[in-house]
Structure 1
Amino acid sequence: MDHRSALGSHRGRLLTHPVDLSALAPIIDHEPSNPALFVQALTHGSTGQTPDYQRLEFLGDRVLGMVIADLLYSRFPKAAEGQMSAFLNRLVSRESCAEIARACTLGPLIRLGKQARDDGGAGSTNILGDVVEALIGALYLDGGMDSARSFIERHWAERIDAISDAPRHPKSELQEWAAARNRKTPVYTMLGKSGPDHDLRFTVRVEIKGLGMAEATGTSKQEAETLAARQFLAEHTT
């Protein structure tokens, strides 16, 4: 057996780094009872090591949604369901989670395989967003809802403070613009996706029959639709 060949085939798995939990401590403001949970939360599948962060991401996504929904319900007692849903979707989006990760400088702590790291995985919106949700899942399992909620309240506070003054979401604005002209709801069509699995790019077209269309590319289908709506408004309403 050619051991050099075998080593080459597993370089993505071998060339990673240990997790510095002391650097993570000020970010999560929590002393782990089970450090392995937080190592898992920072471990990307490209390392070939198991478990990776996917199961914790699944859990953290649900915890984040519930806590943000509760905060919005209390903070905006007169807001309609549709408005709160729009706020919620914006606050829990992958892009928002990635912004939190960047503000915390989480990228260097993520365990990635060599190829994923060389491809810029530590700065990927998809990976950064996933890791924040995985950390929330780890906090929930390790310290209960209070620990997870404390992390969310601390890192999302400014975003919740600002959201009521934020402009309308481009998709909502475009839908209202079309309705005001007695047109059908805008139709969003996925045109394709490109890039490596950890840093995909999605291209979407939005069309309002008889009024026009626009295209845009983003790091998620949701972001691409938002950018396409914004582009449509820029091209057809000014």
Structure 2
Amino acid sequence: MNRPDKRNAQTPETWLWLTRAVNALPGTVRVLFVRGEGPSFSAGLDRAVFTAEGTDEAPGLFGIAHADQETATAAIASFQQAFDLGSRPGLVSIALVQGYAIGAGFQLALSCDIRIAAQDVQFSMAEVSLGLVPDLGGTKRIVELVGYSKAASICLTGRRVSAEEADQIGLVTAVVPVERLAEAGDAFAAQILALPAAAVTETKALLLAASGRSQDDQQRAEREAQYRQLRALAGLDRED
């Protein structure tokens, strides 16, 4: 994100272009960094969208409020697509978060596989304070990360979460000094890229599906994935 003068505040156009950019990535891309230019990751929603009608491609909140329910929820569904960064098994997304990660900024960080936070980070799910709800996929992701009770204390109050607390409750993968944020991201990426791509993809797919499966079903999926990997290592699935 590159609106440092606005602390990388987001608009529907931001989400439209983020979706397009991620969808355009070739399958050979294995790691995606998500970060904000300047001292903050993203201060959330640009307040200007409250009164903007938007465009045909990216309607503003004013236009959504005046639309019928089917049209309005379809528009929100299109916004949510930009916050689906962790769903592709072959792509590992890493959020490098510093300064403010508020509202939509927080939810964007939550949508990534890995969150590396600078020591100055402040997370906040501030939507409720604006009379809104978090609607970009963040409610399920934060509950899965920190549990219902802790998620409720964060989302129902809009309070700030420091780097220290985020680390303690498992909201982030690591906390580093601000000046080492990019270096830490590169180190994580190097570890991932040093490993066989197919094995990383299969493992991520197992992790993504684990919460929705029983233990027996998960172990069955592990067996099937392992069989595919063993055949690949033995060269049995290569085309002659």
TM-score range, shorter chain: under 0.3
TM-score by length of 1: 0.26
